[in-house]
Amino acid sequence: QSALTQPRSVSGSPGQSVTISCTGTSSDVGDYNYVSWYQQHPVKAPKLMIYDVTKRPSGVPDRFSGSKSGNTASLTISGLQAEDEADYYCCSYAGSYTLVFGGGTKLTVL
């Protein structure tokens, strides 16, 4: 069970859109529609932003959206705002009742 692959960092200017990728294998991301995304501000607990690839929990702005193609899931943040600057982690069901996280991506709002 290897960690999912995310870019170490991405950046964008306010108002722009950014996309964070999360690449796994045919045994996790590619085989199940159970990818979730978490936002983590410094010294804070992670917060669920997207689950089941595309679903948004109540209270999460619709600027956040998720998608998946093959073994790669993506989180897109549109209309970037300063408060979106944070670390983002993907997570996937990986079979046999196990879960695996990505290594995390630091989003910088320029």
Which residues here bind other proteins, judged by CB under 8 A?
1, 3, 32, 34, 36, 38, 45-48, 51-52, 57, 89, 91, 93, 96-104
Shortest distance in whole angstroms from residue 54 CB to other proteins: 12
Shortest distance in whole angstroms from residue 50 CB to other proteins: 9
Yes or no: say if 99 and 11 are a contact pair by the CB < 8 Å rule: no
C-alpha to C-alpha distance for 3 and 22, rounded to whole angstroms? 10
Residues contacting 67, CB < 8 A, separation 6+: 53, 54, 73, 74, 76
CB nearer to other proteins: pick between 32 and 78: 32
